[in-house]
């Protein structure tokens, strides 16, 4: 039997005082779990649906931001000057990324992965509801309106970025073996196609603006965003942190990747270390 000298050396390095007899058994590589088996796992479908809705309302906000951002607060917009909007979004994204890098690991360590994701999901409908209302309240001052709306954009991007990190980790925790991770990543890419619906919502808003007033159209868009966010928040409460055997994946598709067998009180003569 051919032995991997690197494996044998690694296994024997932990105990220099006693001799070990190590047999390295290379297990047969398991077949990856198929797409059909993933699509029959209830907890995975719920998690994938939650990811899809998150992609939908986050992308819809980003697509509508040029329209809603520069619209007057009296018309349901955010009242940000057009020449400042692009720079504001660039700065906000950078700061939000730094905030995610620092806050998300601490939140996961303190509250756990699933609880953090559910808590963030609950904030989205509140954010989409509060943005036009706050902009309307501070409409008396252009500077204050711009500042408040910029902070609102920062909060949205920080929440969305943190939620994407958390849900991605949850999705990657789903496959019971490393060989099936590629299938899960592929399904995530398919689910992210919901982002394309954001363009459809944007197109519908332009059609509505020709039949209804800009004010009616803008508030309708905020309502749609809040409904999408509320749906995602409700679905997040059915998300599970890990799948279960039999309920999600049948036991026959689960197997060990590699097995090592070590026996003490023997020598390593005959092994090429």
For residue 218, what are the CA distances in angstroms to 192, 201, 208?
25, 12, 10
- Whole-angstrom Cα distance, residue 21 to residue 16? 13
CB-CB contact of 257 with 178 (8 Å):
yes
φ and ψ at residue 201, rounded to 5 degrees: -65, -40
- Whole-angstrom Cα distance, residue 119 to residue 134? 22
The pLDDT value given to residue 265? 40
The pLDDT value given to residue 92? 93
Q: If 0-12 CB within 10 Å is exposed, 13-18 middle and 19+ buried, where does residue 20 land?
A: middle
CATH class of the structural domain 35-253? mainly alpha
The pLDDT value given to residue 270? 46
Nearest Cα to Cα of residue 118 among 184, 167, 153 = 167
The answer for residues whose C-beta is within 8 angstroms of residue 42's C-beta and 6 or more apart is: 247, 248
Which residue reads 């970025």 in tokens? 161
The pLDDT value given to residue 259? 36
Which residue reads 């991770």 in tokens? 181
pTM, full prediction: 0.76
The pLDDT value given to residue 24? 52
The pLDDT value given to residue 246? 46
- Whole-angstrom Cα distance, residue 262 to residue 204? 66
The pLDDT value given to residue 258? 38
The pLDDT value given to residue 257? 44
Sequence spans of domains, the chain: 1-26+258-273, 35-253
pLDDT tens track, the chain, 273 positions:
555 555 555 455 555 445 555 555 555 555 667 777 777 777 888 888 899 999 999 999 998 888 888 888 888 889 888 888 888 899 999 999 999 999 999 999 999 999 999 999 999 999 999 999 988 888 888 888 889 999 999 999 999 999 999 998 888 887 776 777 777 888 888 777 777 787 777 777 777 766 678 888 889 889 999 999 999 999 999 888 776 544 556 555 555 443 333 344 444 444 444
In the chain, % helix, strand, coil (3-state, to 5) comes to: 70, 5, 25
Q: Residue 259 is inside which H or E element, if any?
A: strand 259-264
DSSP state at residue 249: B
SS3 state at 18: coil
Q: Residue 68 is inside which H or E element, if any?
A: helix 42-70
The pLDDT value given to residue 249? 60
- Whole-angstrom Cα distance, residue 207 to residue 199? 13
The pLDDT value given to residue 182? 79
CB-CB contact of 168 with 48 (8 Å):
no
For residue 165, what are the CA distances in angstroms to 39, 117, 168, 221, 244?
22, 9, 5, 26, 22
Count of H-run helices and E-run strands, the chain? 9, 2
């Amino acid at each position: 039997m051919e032995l991997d000298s690197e494996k044998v050396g690694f296994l024997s390095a932990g105990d220099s005082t006693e001799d070990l007899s190590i047999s390295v058994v290379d297990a047969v590589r398991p077949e990856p779990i198929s797409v059909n088996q993933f699509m029959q796992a209830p907890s995975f479908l719920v998690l994938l649906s939650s990811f899809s809705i998150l992609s939908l309302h986050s992308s819809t906000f980003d697509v509508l931001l040029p329209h809603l951002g520069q619209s007057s607060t009296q018309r349901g917009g955010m009242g940000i000057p057009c020449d400042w909007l692009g720079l504001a979004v660039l700065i906000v994204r950078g700061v939000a990324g730094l905030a995610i890098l620092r806050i998300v690991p601490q939140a996961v360590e303190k509250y756990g992965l699933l609880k953090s994701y559910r808590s963030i999901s609950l904030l989205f409908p509140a954010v989409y509801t509060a943005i036009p209302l706050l902009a309307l309240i501070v409409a008396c001052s252009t500077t204050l309106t711009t500042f408040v709306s910029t902070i609102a954009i920062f909060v949205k991007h920080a929440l969305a970025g943190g939620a994407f990190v958390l849900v991605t980790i949850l999705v990657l925790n789903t496959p019971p073996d490393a060989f099936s991770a590629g299938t899960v990543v592929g399904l995530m890419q398919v689910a992210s196609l919901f982002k394309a619906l954001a363009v459809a919502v944007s197109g519908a808003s332009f059609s509505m603006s020709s039949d209804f007033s800009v004010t009616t159209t803008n508030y309708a868009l905020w309502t749609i965003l809040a409904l999408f966010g509320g749906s995602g928040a409700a679905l997040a409460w059915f998300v599970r942190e890990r799948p279960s055997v039999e309920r999600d994946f049948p036991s026959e598709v689960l197997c060990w990747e590699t097995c090592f067998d070590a026996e003490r009180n023997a020598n390593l003569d005959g092994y090429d270390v």
